[in-house]
Amino acid sequence: MRLYKRMRTDSAIYWQRTGVADGGMPAFLPPVIIKCRWDHQQKNVEISETVETVSVSGTVFPDRVLEVGSFLLHGDEAVLEMLSESEKANPMLVQGALKIKTQKVTSKWRVRQSQWKPNDQSDDIFIEVTV
């Protein structure tokens, strides 16, 4: 088993952006659960005179090529079931959903030509996403 596959112990809810809907708002496909690894970092956030430690992430290593401008939410099927129908349709309404800012796809250094399907990671590439 590849090391990258063994590293993916987390899951995320992924809303793929498909374009612009009526009214100029972004349109998204229904959410799906993907396997990934989050680089967790912690920071202190002050909320109404109390300090709360929040776990946030800036880097995700997904199991597939993602669309820049789409959204990710750390969670699994249980989190997805707790979302309302409007939140499932529009991830911008979900608190904690992060927009994908950049994506870096790196192929193995000995591979001359990398080919992969849009929704699946080849054995010859490594994907890093910044949210």
pLDDT tens, 46-104? Answer: 666 666 655 555 788 888 889 999 999 988 999 999 999 999 999 999 998 989 988 88
φ/ψ region of 72 (left if φ > 0, alpha if ψ in -120 to 50, else beta) reads: beta
The 3-class secondary structure across 65-130, one letter per residue, is CCCCCCEEEECCHHHHHHCCHHHHHCHHHCCCCEECCEEEEEECCCCCCCCCCCCCCCCCEEEEEE
pLDDT confidence of residue 24: 84
11 touches 36 (CB < 8 A):
yes
Where do the domains of the chain lie? 3-130
Q: Cβ atoms within 10 A of the Cβ of 44, count?
A: 8
Tell me the pLDDT tens digit for each residue of 11-25: 899 999 998 888 888
